[in-house]
């Protein structure tokens, strides 16, 4: 028995060949797809990611862990963001 696979497709390509999606919806998707600019999308995402990390860095929450077994001071943990 030999397995056969279909050619790989993006979700966009799968929608375009799907019979349950109306022609009007496919036309809307085609118009929107033509207007996409991957480089501009990446720049926008990078900008938003930097803003998110800047906001997170300003707000450094302290997490207090209480130890019950030993008589020690509670530990303070400062979460670090990995970029």
In tens, the pLDDT along 15-63 reads: 999 999 999 999 999 999 999 999 999 999 999 999 999 888 887 666 6
Task: State the pTM of this model.
Answer: 0.49
Distance CA 21, CA 5 (A): 23
β-pair partners for 23: none
Domains in the chain: boundaries = 11-77
Residue 83 in tokens: 């970029």
β-pair partners for 76: 64
Residues 6+ apart with CB under 8 A from 81: 53, 56, 57
């Amino acid at each position: 028995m030999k397995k056969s696979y279909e050619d790989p497709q993006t979700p966009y390509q799968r929608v375009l060949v799907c019979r349950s999606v109306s022609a009007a919806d496919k036309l809307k998707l085609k118009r929107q797809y033509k207007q996409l600019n991957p480089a501009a999308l990446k720049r926008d995402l990078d900008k938003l990611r930097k803003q998110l990390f800047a906001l997170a860095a300003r707000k450094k929450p302290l997490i207090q862990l209480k130890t019950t077994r030993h008589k020690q001071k509670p530990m303070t943990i400062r979460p670090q963001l990995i970029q």
